Structure 1
Amino acid sequence: MTENATGTAGATASPSPRPVIVAGVDGSPTSRDALLWAAEEARLRGAVLRVVCGWEWSSPFNLIGPALEHAAPDAGTPSMEELTRTRTEELITQTLGEEPGVPVEVRVVQGPATGVLVEASEGATLIVVGTRGHSGLKGAVLGSVSRHVTQHARCNVVVVRGRRDTAEGE
């Protein structure tokens, strides 16, 4: 009898799990472009699309930011995590439609986007992020988050620059 990778004699290997494509989003037009790109890649590869959004009290993607710090816990006010999850789910629906054509997981994690995305890259096949688009020389330079992800991710990275009509500042 031979042993398989798990060390059990005669056992059959289970089918490998579906690959995971991570899309980092923050609500910006270029993150929407990255989400579209990642969804198409997930469809082509038969992968799961994992949409990840890191949030902090100072994040511009959050609706009301630090005001929630002072809300009474029993005031019926949704938590920052709940608000960010709702906004992320709305972004997915607005960008990909009601039926995105691939399985979608949503992960909303408290912390700086750089750390959250690098952690999300662990075990993924690919991570896709946008970069703040600019024209000219600025356009050749990646944003701080996308630069950090390209340097520290634990999988392949695609940086979607965004279309000229969706680039911020133009």
Structure 2
Amino acid sequence: MSGESRERGRIVVGVDGSESSEEALRWAVRQAELTDSTVDAVTAWEYPPLYGSIGWIDAPQELASDMKAAASQALDHAVKEAVAPEQQARIHSVLAYGTPAAVLLDQARGADLLVVGSRGHGGFAGALLGSVGQHCTQHAPCPVVVVRRQ
């Protein structure tokens, strides 16, 4: 490998603040260490439309900045909780507007691996795989690892 520079791999992991996503983040960091990769810890945020007398309308713009700030704090908290300080240099935090599945699939373009937890915050607690994980396993542009909570 004299004179050749090796490009580092990239692992994308979905982080929503759930215990399952924190476990996925820990797994992604361990895998990144083994493969000399970087980790993009991705959190999606959006504000829901409201239903009014004229139908579906956008929520007030003031809510957007509050929701974005809350998502950013949740991402920072998850990284601090799940990853040792000496490993955090490997992580790039990504905050993006959109639905979780769409944001993760977009961020996974060109990645070596997409990592998701088996269950997030929504849906049915008894389901084996959440809707975001299900969508990602079916449509991702790269291999997907679903990490189950221990």
The TM-score with structure 2 as length reference comes to: 0.78
**Cα distance, 1:89 vs. partner?**
1.2
Runs of 4+ in structure 1 off by over 6 angstroms are none
- Structure 1 residues 15 and 131, CA gap change in structure 2 (3 angstroms): same
The alignment covers a number of residue pairs equal to 133
Task: Indicate yes or no: 2:33 matched with 1:43.
Answer: yes
* Equivalent residue number for residue 56 of structure 1: 46
* Equivalent residue number for residue 69 of structure 1: 60
The structure whose residues are more often strand, as a share, is: 2
- Structure 1 residues 69 and 14, CA gap change in structure 2 (3 angstroms): farther
User: Can you list the C-alpha shifts for 1:26-82, whole angstroms capped at 9, x where unaligned?
Assistant: 111100110110010001111001100111124xxxxxxxxx93649xxxx954323
Instruction: Among all aligned residue pairs of Structure 1 and Structure 2, give the percentage whose two residues are the same amino acid.
Output: 35
* Equivalent residue number for residue 103 of structure 1: 90
Distance 1:91 1:35 in 2: 9
The TM-score with structure 1 as length reference comes to: 0.69
Segments of structure 2 that go 5 or more residues without pairing to the other structure are 49-58, 121-125
The structure whose residues are more often helix, as a share, is: 2
Distance 1:29 1:84 in 2: 16
Q: What SS is found at the alignment partner of 2:116? A: strand
Bigger Cα Rg: 1
Contact 2:118 2:129 in 1 (8 A): yes
Segments of structure 1 that go 5 or more residues without pairing to the other structure are 1-12, 59-67, 164-170
